[in-house]
Amino acid sequence: MHNPYLSISIPKHLRSNHTIMETLRQNSQQLQTHFDTRATMLDILKFQPNSSFSDLHTIEIPNERGHSFLRRQPSFPRTCGRLPIPSEYCICRMKRVPIIDKQIQNRYGHKLIDYINKKLKEEGFSSKCENFEFRQ
């Protein structure tokens, strides 16, 4: 399992801002991603200076996948399944249970192959790629 480490240092003049420090503390207790780090940098450069670092409302930054550490996080659960975190970097410790029932394996296998073939067709790759087939 990979567990990336991140540490930030708050500028001294912002450490006395109890609201922003409390928001950072709350957000530090949730799962964060490098996308959130990027969103925070953009927030510092583009948005927070307009409010003197007092705006804590959640914002959606166009074309960004993360949320600023300096603002309230969205209300949905921040898990690897909801955030763009590859499974090898997930620290959620999800239990993986193998599917033993052959009928269920076959049903999901066919659904997955059908979905992949559909996506290849939608994206115009069906003429370049061979159709996938499910083999038992």
pLDDT in tens, 27-70: 998 888 889 999 999 999 999 988 888 889 999 999 998 999 99
The confidence score (pLDDT) of residue 7 equals 84
- Between CA 98 and CA 72 the distance in angstroms is 37
Angle at 82 between CA 89 and CA 75, to 5 degrees: 125
Looking at the structure, do residues 70 and 20 belong to the same domain, yes or no? yes
Token pair listed for 32: 């964060």
Counted domains in the chain: 2
Query: 2 falls in which pLDDT band (50, 70, 90)?
Result: low
Q: For residue 70, what are the domain limits? A: 12-89
Looking at the structure, do residues 68 and 111 belong to the same domain, yes or no? no
Looking at the structure, do residues 20 and 76 belong to the same domain, yes or no? yes
pLDDT at 82 over 70: yes
Looking at the structure, do residues 47 and 17 belong to the same domain, yes or no? yes
